[in-house]
Amino acid sequence: TFSQLVHEDDYGSVKNNVWKAVKKLRSISCLFAHRGILLDTSRHYLPLKSILTNLDAMAFNKFNVLHWHIVDDQSFPYQSVSFPELSNKGAYSYNHVYTPTDVRLVIEYARLRGIRVIPEFDTPGHTQSWGKGQKDLLTPCYSGEQPSGSFGPVNPILNSTYDFMATLFKEISSVFPDAYIHLGGDEVSFNCWESNPEVKDFMKKQGFGIDYAKLESYYVQKILDIVSSYNKGYVVWQEVFDNNAELKPDTVVEVWMANNYAHELSRVTRAGYTAILAAPWYLDYISYGQDWTKYYRVEPLNFPGSEKQKRLLIGGEACLWGEYVDATNLTPRLWPRASAVGERLWSSKNVTNLQDAYRRLSNHRCRMLR
Amino acid sequence: MGHAENKQSWRTSCTELLISVATPGCNGFPNLESKENYKLNISRDSMLLYADAVWGALRGLETFSQLVGRDENGMYYINETEIVDFPRFPHRGLLLDTSRHYLPLKAILETLDVMAYNKLNVFHWHIVDDPSFPYESFTFPELSKQGAFSAMTHVYTASDVQTVIEYARLRGIRVIAEFDTPGHTLSWGPGAPGLLTPCYLGKDPSGTYGPINPIFNSTYQFVTSLFQEISSVFPDYFIHLGGDEVDFTCWKSNPDILVFMKKMGFGEDYTKLESYYIQRLLDIVSSLGKGYMVWQEVFDNGVKVRPDTIIHVWKNNLPYAEEMANVTKAGYRALLSAPWYLNRISYGQDWMAAYQVEPLKFTGSTKQKDLVIGGEACMWGEYVDVTNLTPRLWPRAGAVAERLWSNATVRNLQDAYVRLADFRCELLRRGVQAEPLFTGYCDHEFGGF
């Protein structure tokens, strides 16, 4: 804030309005404790420089969480010490990886800016790239009686799966110092499981009938227990809650589905879980014009619920999914649009005037250019 | 081993490309009639590039550069090939808007480079507009002094303009300047008092201004002097005169104009007043020996234009195909931009829609279709400046470039995707900040390795 109060006059002398401002200011504190940016380094690899530049920009906007969606279907750039083949086979190339040094650099660079790094290792869906370097991890899909050659989500019926996950998450828990890990759990397609005869047998044996959501929860449950045993808390996408998995009380549920998200916030907080809001802030959904106003006008607390419930909404995240984004367009696509989200999450509920925000945001944009 | 080898190994070292240009001369400017055809013959024995004119040689060189590959040992190679190539349309343009946001010279020059990589050959420089007047005029220096965002930093000096024109020429790119009037001229007002129409609130001037005031002789003296300068500064035969989106509200409020309307017998029809201005403007520009391009409203409003006028079709309210039909039916040449407003971003692979446009898909005779000289991708500047220009332009504008160069039958989307994605990686390798089409990677990433 101090840096933003200092300005240059026309002759280049640096002045500051600090003392004048101090008289006007009451003590500044933020509205929400979790103010995050999601970056996706699987759909496109992001060179380190671009991540670090972004951390700077986050700090300029008082964001304090980097949600690092580090791996997904398309590529596995995370170089694992326990399972080096994951990135050897799953990354776009040997150059498109984050070494342990790279990861430590990001964590430390973030720490020096008061930014937490919460990694997301999304399973059981969104894991195509995992299968390249870890045989038998993914479910083989069947075409009739024969394997089709393609693979689906992580195979939940094998013990080897859980041995693998236990080792991997042990590593992740020690590499990433934050108290939380994001475990994903979104968009699990059941088609492949439904096609696989062994999975079908397992369903019968477990008494799940044909409700594959139960199988999904069975898997998720075991992962949650594994991660808990390493003394980490977890963040999950809303499906994990929606599908009735048994969650620890300090689970954070990330609400991302745009349809009726206020209703979802009610449900999540009524069940006593902490929530973070991403649904209205998918910044990768670009459109023509000043869409920052749409992000600015979101009022996260506008959902039916008691005071107690409202306190369970601890913040939100602006998400920049990577299907159409890489280092060539990340910075202009994220900023200053994400700044609108940053103010919404930091400032008081009554700071909503669009004209005033436009004036300040334009200035802030020029400041970020400088 | 041991005996003399007369046959050449499959991999001979090719060290030179021989270029033969039928009509010599590198000192001229490209124009609408310039010949851009070329032949490329790559074989074991020789590499030959033949072109009728130097402009074709430039196109051929670009193709040649795209044919050269590099293997995993770092060795450059090229496959044997025979190419006979020429553009489908002679006018393949890109519009940049330097009024809504100033674009530093470097950004314009880089854009010209990438245009050349895409065989685009017209830079439509929408240089001034309502928000700012960055063009430094020697006849009317006050225009930029009062009208630029900042007269010291956000201007194009005479030298800057010459730099752009020459840089473009060396790449076979024509520079067509647009000084859009009578609307889109708010920034002209501060430096040219009396030029714009004062709007009235009842009986009194409201303090705001509207389009150029068409009723004063001083207006036409100004216009003559300004366009005299523009005609001498910009060597292309064509100047773009704009003529779009003229808002009549201000004219309607002004008492002097009301008097004029009566005197001229225009009644309540302000399109007649608009046409009166445009007519005089066109005559002035004609007398300066220049041809002109105008936005479609000038045609739509029935203004009398010279037969060699080019009508620029940009609106989407009618299906634009209908406008293309109307313009060509009336015997005028048409330029298509309506489906190619690249500033209108949206989520996903919108390059595909741009690629699938078929400029000649309208009801008309062959003679009419022959009047379509090409099109332009437009990057209006309301939300664009140097921070996002390059990724927003490329590789999306490449889809338009191929549509305008290649044969109408080249339209397979899957094939285009593969080639455009490769081309995008090539752009990255050449240092251009082109954005990705979809998930994936390039060996060289921007700002990385």
pLDDT per position as a tens digit, B199-249: 999 999 999 999 999 999 999 999 999 999 999 999 999 999 999 999 999
Residue ranges of alpha helices (H) inside chain A are: 2-5, 18-24, 48-60, 85-90, 100-111, 130-133, 159-175, 191-195, 197-206, 212-229, 238-242, 261-270, 292-296, 307-311, 330-334, 337-346, 354-369
C-beta separation of B196 from B210 below 8 A: yes
User: Does residue B448 belong to the interface with chain A, where contact is any CB pair within 8 Å?
Assistant: yes
Residues B25 and B143 in one domain: no
CA angle A181, A183, A188 (to 5 degrees): 170
Structurally, chain B folds into a number of domains equal to: 2
Q: CATH number, domain at B40? A: 3.30.379.10
**DSSP code at position B128:** -
Domain boundary among B85, B108, B133: B85
H/E segment holding residue A276: strand A274-277
Taking CB atoms and an 8 Å cut-off, how many pairs form between chains A and B? 86
- Taking CA–CA distances from B385, the nearest residue in chain A reads A332
Look at residue A24 in the predicted model and tell me its pLDDT: 52
Sign of CA dihedral B176, B179, B182, B185: positive
User: Which of B69, B85, B101 finishes a domain?
Assistant: B85
Q: Which residue of A has its CA nearest to B448?
A: A47
B124-to-B121, B343, B367, B392 alpha-carbon distances in Å: 10, 15, 26, 17
Residue A11, classified by CB atoms within 10 Å of its CB into exposed (0-12), middle (13-18) or buried (19+), is exposed
pLDDT at B7 over 50: no
Q: Does A329 touch chain B (CB under 8 A)?
A: yes
Residues of chain A contacting B434 with CB distance shorter than 8 Å: 328
Task: State whether B61 and B170 are in the same domain.
Answer: no
Range of the domain at B25: 18-85
**pLDDT, tens digit (0-9, with 9 covering 90-100), for A20-35:** 554 455 556 678 999 9
ipTM of the complex, rounded to two decimals: 0.93
B310 located within any domain:
yes
- What pLDDT, on a 0 to 100 scale, did the predictor assign at position B2? 43
Closest CA to B304 of B273, B325, B282: B282
> In Å, how far is B156's CA from the nearest CA of chain A?
21
CA distance A250 to A256: 19
pLDDT score for B10: 52
Compute the nearest-CA separation of B386 from chain A (Å).
10
d(CA B67, CA A3): 52
Is residue B325 in a domain?
yes
CA distance A42 to A128: 11
Of chain A, the percentage scoring pLDDT greater than 70 comes to: 94
A189 — phi, psi (to 5°)? -85, 130
* Domain shared by B179 and B310, yes or no: yes
Which residue of chain B has the CA closest to A47?
A: B448
CB A197 within 8 A of CB A140: no
Mean predicted confidence (pLDDT) in A53-62: 98
Q: Is the pLDDT of residue B4 over 90?
A: no
- Helix H or strand E segment including B153: none
Of B344, B348, B439, the CB nearest to A74: B439
Which residue of B390, B438, B445 is in closest CB contact with A45?
B445
Whether residue A370 lies within 8 A of chain B, CB to CB, comes out as no
**What is the spatial distance between Cα A166 and Cα A229, in angstroms, rounded to a whole number?**
9
Q: For position B6, what pLDDT does the model report? A: 47
Cβ atoms of residues A183 and A118 within 8 Å: no
**Given a cut of 60, is residue B327 above it in pLDDT?**
yes
Residue B367 lies in a domain: yes
**62-81 in A: which are within 8 Å (CB) of B?**
74-75
Q: Is A99 on the interface with B (CB under 8 A)?
A: no
Q: By CB neighbour count within 10 A (0-12 exposed, 13-18 middle, 19+ buried), where does A24 fall?
A: exposed
Tens of pLDDT, residue by residue over B288-298, are 999 999 999 99
User: Do B212 and B256 lie in a common domain?
Assistant: yes
pLDDT at B333 over 50: yes
Residues in chain B: 449
- Calculate the alpha carbon distances from B60 to A168, B82, B425, B428 in Å: 54, 12, 21, 21
The type of residue at A304 is: P
Residues of A in contact with B343 (CB under 8 A): 288
Among B152, B439, B446, the strongest candidate for a mutation testing the A interface, having the largest count of A CBs within 10 A, is B439
* Catalytic residue numbers of A, as ranges: 187
Percentage of chain B surpassing pLDDT 70?
97
Quote the tokens at residue B136: 């430094």
Of A15-19, A148-152, B314-318, which range is least confident?
A: A15-19
Instruction: List the single best residue of B149, B430, B445 to mutate versus A (max A Cβ within 10 A).
Output: B445
Interface residue B77 vs chain A (CB under 8 A): no
Least confident of A216-225, A321-330, B153-162: A216-225
Same-domain check for residues B105 and B157: yes
Cβ atoms of residues B261 and B302 within 8 Å: no
CB contact under 8 A, B347 and A286: yes
Q: CB of A43 within 8 Å of any CB in chain B?
A: yes
CA distance A18 to B376: 51
B334 and B384 assigned to the same domain? yes
Which of B59, B85, B111 corresponds to the end of one domain?
B85
Which active-site residues of B does the annotation give? 245
Which residues are paired to B21 by β-bridges?
A: B51
**In one letter, which amino acid is B272?**
K
Q: Do A44 and B447 touch (CB under 8 A)?
A: no
Distance CA A231, CA A245 (A): 19
Half-sphere exposure for B194 (CA within 13 Å, toward CB): 9
B3: in domain: no
Question: Tokens representing A15?
Answer: 């002045």
What average pLDDT does the segment A81-92 reach? 98
Judge if B118 and B78 occupy the same domain.
no
Q: Which amino acid is at A104?
A: R
Query: In chain A, whose CA is at the least distance from the CA of B386?
Result: A332
Please check whether residue A293 touches B, CB under 8 A. Answer: no
The answer on B208 and B336 residing in a single domain is: yes
User: What average pLDDT does range B161-175 have in this prediction?
Assistant: 98
pLDDT of amino acid B1:
45
Minimum CA–CA partner of B387 in chain A: A332
In whole angstroms, give the CA distance from residue A293 to residue A290: 6
Residues B273-287 have a mean pLDDT of 95
What value does the mean pLDDT take over residues B258-271? 96
Phi, psi angle pair for B54, to nearest 5°: -60, -30
Question: Are B266 and B128 found together in one domain?
Answer: yes
Q: Is residue B12 part of a domain?
A: no
Range with the lowest mean pLDDT among A158-167, A303-312, B69-78? Answer: B69-78
In this structure, what CATH number is given to the domain that contains residue B141? 3.20.20.80
Residue A304 C-alpha, separation from nearest chain B C-alpha, in angstroms: 31
Query: Which pLDDT tens digit goes with each residue over B91-134?
Result: 999 999 999 999 999 999 999 999 999 999 999 999 999 999 99
Q: What is the C-alpha separation between A268 and A9, in angstroms, rounded? A: 50
Of the residues A45, A87, A329, A330, the best mutation for testing chain B's interface (the one with the most B CB atoms within 10 Å of its CB) is A329
8 Å CB contact of B436 and A93? no
What is the reported pLDDT for B239?
98
Could you say which of B346, B439, B445 has the minimum Cβ distance to residue A43? Answer: B439
DSSP-assigned letter for residue A75: -
pLDDT tens figures, A190-248: 999 999 999 999 999 999 999 999 999 999 999 999 999 999 999 999 999 998 888 88
What is the distance in angstroms between the Cα of B384 and the nearest Cα belonging to chain A?
Answer: 10
One domain for residues B245 and B367: yes
Among the partner-chain residues B344, B388, B438, the one whose CB lies closest to the CB of A288 is B344
User: For chain B, first and last CA: distance in Å?
Assistant: 42
Contact of A328 with chain B, judged by CB distance below 8 Å, is answered with yes
Q: What is the dihedral of CA B6, B9, B10, B13, to 10 degrees?
A: -110
Angle at B385 between CA B379 and CA B388, to 5 degrees: 85
Cβ-based contacts of A282 with chain B (< 8 Å): none
The predicted structure's pLDDT at residue B15: 85
Q: Which fold has domain A36-369?
A: TIM Barrel (3.20.20)
Same domain, B113 and B54: no
> Which chain B residue shows the shortest CA-CA distance from A45?
B441
| Residues in B touching A331 (Cβ below 8 Å) | 387
Same domain assignment for residues B389 and B323: yes
What SS3 state is found at A151? strand
Instruction: Please judge whether B391 and A322 are an interchain contact, meaning their C-beta atoms are less than 8 angstroms apart.
Output: no
Q: Give the list of residues 6+ apart from residue A360 with CB closer than 8 angstroms, or none.
A: none
* B424, pLDDT greater than 80: yes
Beta-strand ranges (E) seen in B194-270 are 196-201, 204-212, 238-242
Does the N-terminal peptide bond of residue B359 adopt cis geometry, omega within 30 degrees of 0?
no
Between A341 and A247, whose confidence is greater? A341
Q: Is the pLDDT of residue B283 over 90?
A: yes
Alpha-carbon distance B66 to nearest alpha carbon in chain A (angstroms): 22
Average pLDDT value over all residues in chain B: 95
